[in-house]
A = this chain, B = another copy of it.
Amino acid sequence: MSFDVSNPVELSFSEIEKARARIQGFASLTPLLNFPVLDEHVNGRVYVKAENLQRTGSFKFRGAFNRLSLIPQADRAAGVVACSSGNHAQGVAAAAKILGFPAVIVMPEDAPALKIQRTKALGAQVILYDRERENREGIAKQICAERGATFIHPYNDSGVIVGQGTTGLEIAEQCEILGVTPDVLISCTGGGGLTSGIALALEELLPECQIYTAEPARFDDYARSLETGERVANSALSGSVCDAVLTEMPGEKGFSVLRRRGAKGLSVSDDEAMDAVAFAYFELKLVVEPGAAVALASVLSRKIDLAGKTAVLTISGGNVDPAVFERALTQYAAGEKTPA
């Protein structure tokens, strides 16, 4: 997304601490969970940061609430505009509702029905567009120009990133309480807001922890960009069940953080993501959407060897349409795979 991006704050650890103070009492402090069944599976120790249990069902509320809190009083009545296929939409809508702004969300017509419905239920005005024929940035720009509204980028915005970084603060503190020092952190990655936010927090608190991005196989722009050192784009814009983490290319800000931290990339097939959704149902008793299951999938399908290691992974959301969820369970139970 090439929309002009504001830089309301520095991309720094101290801004993550300030963000935490802002979201406290509004965002949930989500649990860091351990499951013996998962530890046995990898022959190591795995902790799951369950952001599907966050308000609105994904981590996106953290960044949205922090970013909206930074809007000057004079600009608040004009409201906010966001483009999103779903989780950022709900995060912005919920934050706007709490803070008392109007919110307009530009969503693709083919966004999951559940996400459209939930965004509307949060009081936002939803404008649907046709991915093939219309330009969402054009629509968003026009609304911003007409109303004087503030555009809220889903990930390439420092206010959003430090908000997502509160997840990393919590992870580090929860690890300390448990008395564990993670060797690796694996996070579901689309534009990179969550993963870079966590990386920024851990740079200060757990500097030895190796960061991994987890992505769908044909949308592994972060993996390839981190390898080459330059931001590269995906060849496709759609065509994966992992809708929550499909972006054109890494966000500039997120990439700069993850490159500096020496992050590495993992990727999984759609089938592996769907199997992880089913594993989470049968074994973890968590509702996870496919795009938010890619980090878990990378562990279950042994894209990384965790034997003897301690890992933290994110489950970043749980807003999954029942039809997709049922398909995941059916495929898994039958042991059948659709072509990858």
Contact = CB atoms under 8 A, between A and B. Distances in A.
Contact of A286 (B286, B326, B330): B286
A57 interface: yes
A287 interface: yes
Nearest to A282: B114
Given A28-B35, A53-B285, A286-B286, 9 more contacts: A31-B31, A35-B53, A57-B283, A57-B285, A114-B282, A281-B322, A285-B287, A322-B326, A325-B329
Q: How many copies does the complex hold?
A: 2
A326 B328 CA distance: 12
A142 interface: no
A6 interface: no
Nearest to A289: B285
A36 interface: yes
B33 A285 contact: no
Contact of A285 (B283, B318, B333): B318
8 closest Cβ contacts across the A-B interface? A285-B318, A31-B31, A285-B287, A52-B285, A322-B329, A36-B55, A326-B326, A281-B287
A135 interface: no
Contact of A284 (B53, B282, B322): B53
Contact of A287 (B28, B36, B286, B322): B286
A118 to B, nearest CB: 8
Interface of A: 28, 31, 33-37, 52-53, 55, 57, 114, 281-288, 318, 322, 325-326, 329-330, 333
Nearest to A94: B36
5 contacts: A35-B55, A52-B285, A53-B285, A281-B325, A322-B329
Contacts of A287: 281, 285-287
A113 B31 CA distance: 30
Nearest to A51: B285
Among A33, A53, A333, max chain B CB count under 10 A is at: A53
Most buried by B among A37, A283, A287: A287
A200 to B, nearest CB: 25
Contacts of A28: 33-36
Contacts of A36: 28, 55
Contacts of A325: 281, 329
B286 A285 contact: yes
A314 to B, nearest CB: 14
Contacts of A285: 52-53, 57, 286-288, 318
A250 B33 CA distance: 33
A176 B47 CA distance: 24
Contacts of A282: 114
A335 B185 CA distance: 41
A28 B281 CA distance: 18
Nearest to A285: B318
A248 to B, nearest CB: 28
